[in-house]
Structures are given as C-alpha cells and as structure tokens.
Amino acid sequence: MNMDEYQQAALRTAAPRDKLNELFHLLLGLVGETGEIAEKAKKIVRDKGSDFSQWDTEDVKKELGDTLWYLAVIADHFDLSLDDVAEHNIAKLADRQRRGVLGGSGDDR
C-alpha cells in the first residue's frame, strides 16, 4: 500500500470535512495520539530503565497507526496528498543532509 492508497482508505472512516470544528477535532486527536506514544515512552523510562527493547512493538504499531490516520485526514483537509507530503519531507531532509545541516533548528538551515 502506498501513502495515497492509505490516505484514501483512512478517509473512508473520517467525518465529513465540513463538519463543524472537524479540523480542530483532528488536530486535537493528533496531539492526543502523539501524547499517548510519549506517555508510554515515559513509562519505559520510569519503570524499565529506558530499555526500549521492552516496548511492545505491536503496541507501538497501533499507536503509530492512529497517528498516521490523523495525519492522513488532516493532509486531506488542506488538499494535500500523503504521498506528496512524504516526498517533500524526504527531499527536504536529503537537502539538509547534503548541506550538512540536519541538526540545528529552523527550516532554513
């Protein structure tokens, strides 16, 4: 499955774009899902001596999938294809790597 196929499948389970406050709902959902990942990571640090090899990979897959769903639907709200978003990100990172500026801050590194 490519990113656009995933996005189209995700959209079949999304609310209509014109639903009141839907974009805000999606943004809060994305933050919530990434927060769940962070919370589980915190517990690995707290309870398992930061040994991330003990993290249940099926759980990680589930949470990353939830995050991906929100990203796909949010991208659609801006008429962006998930393939285009992914390709743009990889090109941006490759350019930064080529220039030796992967680290640091700001988009104009």
7-27 confidence digits (pLDDT tens): 999 999 999 999 999 999 999
Q: What is the Cα–Cα distance from 62 to 74, expressed in whole angstroms?
A: 19
The CA distance from 51 to 72, in Å, is 31
Cα separation of 79 and 69, whole Å?
A: 15
Please report, in tens digits, the pLDDT of each residue of the chain (109 residues total). Answer: 999 999 999 999 999 999 999 999 999 999 999 999 999 999 999 999 999 999 999 999 999 999 999 999 999 999 999 999 999 999 999 998 898 888 877 666 6
Query: Residue 80: helix, strand or coil by DSSP?
Result: coil
pLDDT given for residue 109 in this prediction: 65
